[in-house]
Amino acid sequence: MTRNDALRAARLRVGWRSAEMAATQLTACGRRFLDDPHFNVSPRTWRRWEGSRPGWPSEETALVLHDVLGRWPEQLGFTPPPGWIRPEHHEETSMQTAAFLAVTAPALVPGPLSTQQVDPALIDYFQSQLEGHYRADMLLGPHDLIGTLGPQYQLIDKLTRSATGETRRGLLRVGAAYAALIGWLYQDAGDLSAAAFWRGITQETALRARDPRLIGYAMVNSAQVRTDLGDGAGVVDLCEAALADDQVVPKIQVMAMQQQAHGASLLRHQDRAEVDRLIDSADRLLPQVDDDLPWGNACRRTPGYLEVQRATCYGRLGLGTEASRLWEQVLAVVPASARRDRGVYMARHATAAATARQPEQAVEIARKVVTIAVETGSARMRRELTALERVMRPWHDAPVGRDLAEVLAPVTEGS
């Protein structure tokens, strides 16, 4: 089909029998669409468009053609000039750029900034707020906190530029902890690109602080993102790097070993023994975690922390009965106040029950999870419910499958 045939066929489809009618109609449509009384396409221009050398319409005309004919110029036989990008892509790119700037702005403030006196007591001030942020995360989910943590990190970064000596290093350490939490919030919200950016900021800030413990913590945080990406090799690489330091503290050992177990479950789909070895090794070290660092305390704060990891890995390995049994034990000790975490665990429990061919139990558990998923906005929870939906496909046409579809509707319809 030649270029003039493509445009001619398009105008005939909308009932424009001649070039004169097409030019008149396109002019009228364009004036309404653009709100521009001067927009005009002449019959001569339209006849040229249907000829062998149609040229290329202006961007405004391209928009009008698309609005009226439902096709872009290159789909109507015009030859795009070098570098042509559809107007719709301009808008999409602008939105993506704005979203990227919103994510990165707190960490990428250009400097130097005006100097100021920095009191060392500010380190304790920011550290004291961390625990409250961790608790709020469990209760609220990620979206409400991201907007709070970003400006706080920006203030810490501003103060760091003026501080000197130990005050500067102390602010860098607390800044790394804030960056890690922001990265986690984005990860929980399902934005892995933003999470990876903030994990990188955590690593950079930890290196600037010259704190081996924070550097190890940052590597484990990056491994968490790799776990969500399904990159088992990346998880293992990062955890082995964190454990390679001869003086690595027990907290980092525990965190790295449990995360490495996730990597093992992603890499070796039948290797339960490696998962158990790593989780058991971490469990023996857990009583030695006695530091007063304000970050990385989930291993002490979360009831059944290591069994949560074991159950998650078992579920990934397809060990439904074993995972379901562990989830029952974990959920018996996780407090109701840890609403977001309970929701994630319950969703994994439901998937384990379905894997163990207990679909009715899976649906009853999912019924409770959906309410929490909607309230907290946790993308992790929604992802777990999507995994449940996949495992429940054998019952898709059965009553229990239809029940699940109804239960999941508030989540699937909002996604």
Q: Is the dihedral of CA 35, 37, 38, 39 positive or negative?
A: positive
Q: How many CB atoms lie within 10 A of CB 121?
A: 8
Query: Is there a contact between 238 and 220 (Cβ–Cβ < 8 Å)?
Result: yes
pLDDT value at residue 1: 46
Note the helical H segments in 189-319.
192-209, 212-228, 232-243, 250-267, 272-285, 298-301, 305-316
Note the helical H segments in 268-338.
272-285, 298-301, 305-316, 320-331
Q: 305-316 and 250-267 helices cross at what angle (nearest 10)?
A: 10
By residue count, the chain amounts to 415
CA distance linking residue 366 with residue 343, whole number of Å: 9
CA distance linking residue 172 with residue 158, whole number of Å: 11
Q: State the amino acid at position 230 in one-letter form.
A: G
Q: What is the pLDDT along the chain (415 residues), one digit of tens a residue?
A: 455 588 888 888 888 989 999 999 999 999 988 888 889 999 999 999 998 888 888 888 988 998 889 888 888 888 888 777 776 655 554 555 566 677 888 888 887 877 889 999 999 999 999 888 988 887 777 777 888 899 999 999 999 999 999 999 999 999 999 999 999 999 988 889 999 999 999 999 999 999 999 999 999 999 999 999 999 999 999 999 999 988 899 999 999 999 999 999 998 766 899 999 999 999 999 999 988 888 888 888 888 999 999 999 999 999 999 999 999 999 999 988 888 889 999 999 999 999 999 999 999 999 999 999 888 878 889 889 999 999 999 998 999 999 999 999 888 754 4
Which residue is listed with tokens 């990062």?
A: 238
Query: Is there a contact between 23 and 45 (Cβ–Cβ < 8 Å)?
Result: yes
Instruction: Give the DSSP letter string of 292-303.
Output: --SSSTHHHHST
pTM of the entire structure? 0.73
pLDDT value at residue 292: 82
Q: In the chain, what is the straight-line distance between the N-terminal and C-terminal CA atoms, in Å?
A: 41
Query: Is there a contact between 84 and 92 (Cβ–Cβ < 8 Å)?
Result: no
